[in-house]
Amino acid sequence: GESVGLHLPTLSVQEGDNSIINCAYSNSASDYFIWYKQESGKGPQFIIDIRSNMDKRQGQRVTVLLNKTVKHLSLQIAATQPGDSAVYFCADYSGGYQKVTFGTGTKLQVIP
Amino acid sequence: DAGVTQSPTHLIKTRGQQVTLRCSPKSGHDTVSWYQQALGQGPQFIFQYYEEEERQRGNFPDRFSGHQFPNYSSELNVNALLLGDSALYLCASSPGVLAGLELFFGEGSRLTVL
């Protein structure tokens, strides 16, 4: 079936460095792609989204890149901080009501 | 402004029992979705409620049912519990069924089935 998956289960980054979290998707009909952050013991928190007709979107310290040719999505976090330590999920949405399909997740560990 | 609240936070049941989980959406939100998150996995969509009706359903058996009340709060019911139902159950709300994708999640109800 259609799925959204991540390349790496765990990513360790030095504090202050940039982080890049990658995601592959298979549903070419997806309208939106979304990144969520989930800290331990909490529910997922929306970070940023991107429409399928865009290839880049920037937020505060975060940038999402979309490459539809290879069905690849990435989240870049600038100047990674200890508070960025969490599991990051990419997710997609393909229309209709708000059925959002999540990937497995990447755990980001920030080394002080 | 209270966010999405869920209860109970933790519960333990045995196989074959039934469970009811509750969710109050964020103030101003009228749409509630439920997700199941197994350990180490991403959340899986169960169903969504809007205007007190189930609007969309994921790949879950009929043992999973829900309800939305006039005040927009919602319940998730699971009958005939199986060991595999052990998971974190997340409720998410939004200000309208087609209002966008910034879902607001609660902290979840951790269900353990023994």
How close does chain A come to B36, measured CA to CA in Å? 11
Query: Residue-wise pLDDT tens for chain B (114 aa)?
Result: 679 999 999 999 999 999 999 999 999 899 999 999 998 889 999 999 999 999 889 999 999 999 999 999 999 999 999 999 999 999 999 887 565 567 899 999 999 999
Count contacts between A and B (CB, < 8 Å). 64
pLDDT of residue A29: 83
Averaged pLDDT, A15-37:
91
Residues of A whose CB is below 8 A from B47: none
Chain-chain contact of B33 with A98 (C-beta, under 8 angstroms): yes
Chain-chain contact of A49 with B101 (C-beta, under 8 angstroms): yes
Structure tokens at A26: 């298979």
Write down the H helix ranges in chain B: none
B35/B48 Cα distance (integer angstroms): 9
Number of domains forming the structure of chain A: 1
**Would the CA dihedral through B43, B49, B55, B61 be positive or negative?**
positive
Quick one: pLDDT band at residue A63, thresholds 50, 70, 90?
very high
Its domain, for residue A24, covers: 4-111
Its domain, for residue B48, covers: 5-113
3 state DSSP class of B84: helix
Length of chain A: 112
B91/B88 Cα distance (integer angstroms): 10
Identify the CATH number of the domain in which residue A47 sits. Answer: 2.60.40.10
3 state DSSP class of B85: helix
Number of domains forming the structure of chain B: 1
Structure tokens at B14: 């045995």
Quick one: pLDDT band at residue A97, thresholds 50, 70, 90?
low
Chain-chain contact of A93 with B101 (C-beta, under 8 angstroms): yes
Nearest to A96 by CA among B56, B88, B76, B21: B56
pLDDT of residue A2: 47
Mean pLDDT score across all residues of chain A: 89
How close does chain B come to A16, measured CA to CA in Å? 27
Residues of B whose CB is below 8 A from A41: 107
